[in-house]
Amino acid sequence: MRTDRLALSGILCMCHIGVTEEERRERQRIEVDLELFADLEEAGRTGVLKRTIDYREVCEAARGLLESGTFHLIEAAATGVLDLILSRFPVARAVVRVRKFVLPKVAHVEVQMERDRPA
């Protein structure tokens, strides 16, 4: 199977995330990057949307999950996005990066996770 790559970078979300209740009280800005690996050959040859991964649906699904939930850790947010992507979209493998802008004098904190579709 081919493993072509579809990437979405800098998906902005406003999320209840943090270890303390005080930190979770107000939504915080996070950014998400996704790399999705799948066979995109047929879509490339036919130009038919149904033969590929609709990146608008991917983005809306990831944002919907993150903005409707509450997470203590960015690791939990990343795991939730991976589980969603692998269960809902025809990808063989997915990589997610979640960035949180929380520490003073630090551009961001980031976690990256990668998972293959379960057999």
- 8-19 residue pLDDT tens: 999 999 999 999
**DSSP code per residue over the chain:** ---EEEEEEEEEEEEEE-SSHHHHHS-EEEEEEEEEEE--HHHHHH--GGGS--HHHHHHHHHHHHHHSEESSHHHHHHHHHHHHHHHS--SEEEEEEEE--STT-S-EEEEEEEEPP-
Residues comprising the chain, all counted: 119
**For residues 55 and 70, what is the distance between their CA atoms, to the nearest angstrom?**
24
Round the average pLDDT of the chain to a whole number and report it: 95
pTM, to two decimals = 0.93
Residue 110 confidence (pLDDT): 98
Residue ranges and CATH numbers for the domains of the chain are: 4-116 (3.30.1130.10)
Question: Tens of pLDDT along 61-117?
Answer: 999 999 999 999 999 999 999 999 999 999 999 999 999 999 999 999 999 999 999
Beta-carbon neighbour count of residue 82 at 10 Å? 19
User: Cα separation of 15 and 28, whole Å?
Assistant: 5
Measured in degrees and rounded to the nearest 5, phi and psi for residue 67 equal: -80, -20
Task: Please choose, from the candidates 83, 84, 78, the residue with its C-alpha nearest in 3D space to the C-alpha of residue 30.
Answer: 78
State yes or no: pLDDT of 1 exceeds 70.
no
Percentage of residues in the chain with pLDDT exceeding 70? 99
